[in-house]
Amino acid sequence: MDLVASAIKGTLDMLPKESHEWHYVESVAADTAKLYGFSEIRTPVFEKTELFQRGVGDTTDVVQKEMYTFNDKGGRSITLRPEGTAGAIRSILEHGLFNEALPVKAYYLTTCYRYEKPQKGRLREFHQFGVECVGAAAPTADAEVITLGKTLLDRLGLQNISLEINSIGCPECRAKYTEALKKYFEEYKSELCPTCLDRLDRNPMRILDCKSEICSKIAENAPKILDYICDDCREHFEKVKACLDAADVKYTVNPSIVRGLDYYTKTVFEFLHNGLAVCAGGRYDGLATELGGVDLPSLGFAAGLERILMIMREQGAEFPTPKKPDLYIAPLGENASAQAVKLCGLLRDEGFSAITDMSGRGLKAQMKYADKIGAKYTLVLGDNEVETSTAKIKDMQSGEQREVALPEGLVSVLYDMSIDKAFDDLHESMAKLEEK
């Protein structure tokens, strides 16, 4: 019989055998954000479509082509979030967080949705870690957020990561740049792809981000934004670079970086691995007012978790070993099964992971199962053990056995054996280090 359904294209199941890798990356991301004073924010998976039309920009590919938009039963236009920033800023404005201590420093671990062709390390449903620093105008804030991104990638052990930065100016100086781009690309109208022909009138900066080989080649000789930014934007960018230099953060200025969302202003940046953006962001000083709120200069970044995990696996990163059950209790008979449930509850109350049989299997099958799940210790519970209230705990690795009184001695014996095993593992690790 065929499966009723399979996963939709562009989505991916996270299986139990790899969940510990996801948990590790997510925990490192959250811990890193907290080191920089950021707290978690969670927003709904869907928002009013207008939020993204106004916030992300109706000239972007995201809004024009990639959003999952539908009408709900009330006839309202709803969109699954294509990115995290707009929803986070909406939440901060709606709940008046800007009336508290500024800047508001929030991070999120979230899913996003874009109807686009699945890419390397990027699906239609994808996961992001992002930070938002709201209410901070100083160049030091830019450097701090960029440094946070670098710290995260360093702590995860990613190799061969490069940082590229740019300034795309403010709306005033960018207007002059837009005119210069329009004039330049007008000469190549017959060669531009249909999408870029539309961009030429609506937002010519988007042409710089086109993946078409022909358009990319034409864009190589286009005017550079750094030749058009005003004195204030130039001063801001120079101070950002000075802060990064002081923090010993290596970077390259790439005047071609424009980012794919309309809300960006001034500083933009990307952490790259073999040409793929792993973590990217910038400043978006006008986004809060565009959404109808107060003026809140802001900035942040988002990092793709699928892409980070892909790179870590390719580079042979060592993930922490997933926790295995401390004890498997193998009951033989109904009385023993009832006692096993009681003992498991006792152990769990003390913080131990305890598992028992739920399938009525024989002893041999249970021992095979205990070995498969990696149980550290096993305890066989038959009629004799129930009657005498004693049993033997076996170390599955060394084969050592210890007799234990049930139930009062179980926790202490298991604790002692765990401590002894921890010391043995430590000595073994130290011996390996000495050999190296």
Structure tokens at 394: 């076996």
Alpha helices in 251-402 (DSSP H): 287-290, 305-314, 334-349, 363-372, 383-388
Q: Closest Cα partner for 78 from 88, 86, 89, 67?
A: 67
Whole-number Å distance between alpha carbons of 170 and 400: 70
pLDDT of residue 420: 77
For residue 279, how many other CB atoms are within 10 A of its CB? 27
Q: Closest Cα partner for 148 from 308, 304, 319, 300?
A: 300
Instruction: Report how many helices (DSSP H) and strands (DSSP E) the chain contains, helices first.
Output: 15, 16
Task: Please give the domain boundaries of the chain with CATH numbers for all domains.
Answer: 16-170+229-314 (3.30.930.10), 327-425 (3.40.50.800)
Structure tokens at 26: 């997510």
3-state secondary structure of 142: helix
pLDDT of residue 425: 67
CB-based contact 347:411 (threshold 8 Å)? yes
Q: Are strands 298-304 and 265-273 parallel, antiparallel or unpaired?
A: unpaired
**Phi, psi dihedrals of residue 130, rounded to the nearest 5°:** -140, 155
pLDDT of residue 256: 84
pLDDT of residue 326: 96
pLDDT of residue 257: 86
Whole-number Å distance between alpha carbons of 411 and 354: 11
pLDDT of residue 427: 65
Whole-number Å distance between alpha carbons of 264 and 83: 14
pLDDT of residue 434: 67
Burial label, 351 (beta-carbon count in 10 A; 0-12, 13-18, 19+): exposed
Structure tokens at 116: 């686009």
pLDDT of residue 59: 65
What's 97's DSSP letter?
Answer: G
pLDDT of residue 60: 73
Beta-sheet strand order (sheet of 69-71): 46-48, 77-80, 69-71
pLDDT tens track of the chain, all 436 residues? Answer: 577 789 999 999 999 999 999 999 999 999 999 999 999 999 999 999 999 998 887 667 787 789 999 999 999 999 999 999 999 999 999 999 999 999 999 999 999 999 988 877 789 999 999 999 999 999 999 999 999 999 999 999 999 999 999 999 998 988 898 899 899 988 888 888 888 888 888 888 888 878 788 988 888 889 999 999 999 999 999 999 999 999 999 999 998 887 766 788 999 999 999 989 999 999 999 999 999 999 999 999 999 999 999 999 999 999 999 999 999 999 999 999 999 999 999 999 999 999 999 999 999 999 999 999 999 999 999 989 999 999 999 999 999 999 999 999 999 999 888 887 777 666 666 666 567 5
Indicate if the alpha-carbon torsion angle 412, 415, 421, 423 is positive or negative.
negative
Angle at 285 between CA 203 and CA 94, to 5 degrees: 110
pLDDT of residue 436: 57
pLDDT of residue 164: 97
pLDDT of residue 263: 81
The CA-atom distances, in angstroms, between 153 and each of 118, 158, 304, 306, 308 are: 23, 6, 11, 14, 8
